[in-house]
Amino acid sequence: MDGRPFAAPPDVTCAIAGSIEDARAFCEAAVQRHPAIRYDVFDAGGRVRPPLLTILHAGRAAALEHSPREMRKRQVIAWALIVMGIPLMAFAYVEIGERDIILPAFFGINMVIIGGRLLWMNLALRETERVREERLRRLER
């Protein structure tokens, strides 16, 4: 809790707060003192579900996988892969009798699949974030 790393993973501990507001205030104060720390705030169920809050220094918030910047970056990469993969597959289809089409077909199919998986990941992260916000709203009432 004081910003020093634990000697071993089994030594990791947790703190119990009376309310979500107390937990948030404690974590935000600790993050201001020690910018390298990341706090995950869970409900009574513990690590069964994703954390209700993830609190870290403002300078590191953009590195979270569900941050708008990371989501946008994944989306751009996904669409670029799809847009580049489709012409490769079309080329392979058109040139099927003329040339060896294994390599362009392989790369085209994989680019489209990887792009689709990145878009699916964004969708899953958006849904997880929506569920987390709903749980948090219910606790704050």
- pLDDT tens, position by position, 87-102: 999 998 888 777 778 8
* Residues 21 and 29 sit within 8 Å (Cβ to Cβ): no
Q: 99 or 137: which carries more pLDDT confidence? A: 137
Give the distance from CA 11 to its chain's centroid.
26
Asked if 22 and 74 sit in the same domain, the reply is no
Give the distance from CA 97 to its chain's centroid.
44
Asked if 77 and 37 sit in the same domain, the reply is no
Confidence band (pLDDT; 50, 70, 90) for 2? low
**Residue 48 located in a structural domain:** yes
Domain count, the chain: 2
Domain that holds residue 31: 9-63
Give the whole-angstrom CA distance, residue 53 versus residue 115.
29
Q: 15 or 28: which carries more pLDDT confidence? A: 28
Asked if 76 and 117 sit in the same domain, the reply is yes
As a whole number, the mean pLDDT across the chain is 86
* Residues 55 and 28 sit within 8 Å (Cβ to Cβ): yes
CB proximity list for 58: less than 8 A, separation 6 or greater: none
Q: What is the mean pLDDT of residues 38-46?
A: 84
pTM exceeds cut of 0.85: no
